[in-house]
């Protein structure tokens, strides 16, 4: 019985080692905003068409089946969007795509006014989401970007 257990252990070890060799190693793509266009809106909700550029640093093309993102400003959720159209980002290349974003700029403006009343120099933002990748062993590539907007020059 002992040799059979040993063989089973060796077999599982080999399977795990083989899986780690087969699983693709991907660097996260870089996502940046290339343009923003107001489509429609009212006081409570605005809809924007945002053009994103996604750069693929990998040696293999990335078939993206969808993408979702959320934006917070000053710790308050202000916008979110989703793209369910598939597109391909070439290896070591980039591609532009559009995504509809629903925002509540009223909340963002209140946060901005509050920060300006406090004589703050900047306001923090947080952009997060994930790209759904249509490859075996790889489902989502999450992204998360934080930073701050300068309030200097805004009156």
Identify which of 73, 70, 72, 71 has the alpha carbon closest to the alpha carbon of residue 113: 73
Residue bearing tokens 């940046």: 32
CATH topology of domain 27-150: Immunoglobulin-like (2.60.40)
Task: Name which residue leads in pLDDT, 64 or 12.
Answer: 64
Whether pTM exceeds 0.85: no
pLDDT exceeds cutoff 90 at 98: no
Which DSSP string do the residues of 134-149 spell out, in sequence order?
EETTEEEEEEEEEEEE
Lowest average pLDDT, out of 17-26, 57-66, 138-147, goes to 17-26
Domain coordinates in residue numbering, the chain: 27-150
Distance set, CA 114 to CA 107, 110, 111, 122, 123 (Å): 11, 6, 5, 11, 10
For 67-83, write each residue's pLDDT tens digit: 888 888 878 888 899 98
């Amino acid at each position: 019985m002992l040799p059979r257990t040993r063989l089973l252990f060796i077999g599982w070890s080999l399977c795990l080692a083989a899986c780690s060799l087969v699983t693709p190693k991907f660097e996260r793509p870089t996502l940046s905003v290339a343009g923003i266009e107001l489509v429609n809106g009212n006081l409570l909700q605005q809809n924007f068409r945002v053009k994103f550029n996604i750069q693929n640093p990998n040696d293999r093309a990335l078939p993206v089946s969808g993408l979702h993102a959320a934006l917070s400003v000053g710790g308050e959720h202000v916008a979110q969007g989703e793209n369910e159209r598939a597109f391909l980002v070439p290896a070591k290349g980039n591609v532009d795509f559009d995504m509809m974003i629903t925002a509540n700029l009223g909340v963002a403006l209140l946060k901005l006014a509050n920060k300006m009343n406090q004589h703050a120099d900047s306001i923090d933002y947080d952009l997060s989401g994930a790209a759904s990748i249509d490859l075996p062993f790889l489902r989502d590539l999450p992204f998360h970007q934080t930073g701050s907007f300068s309030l200097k020059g805004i009156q």
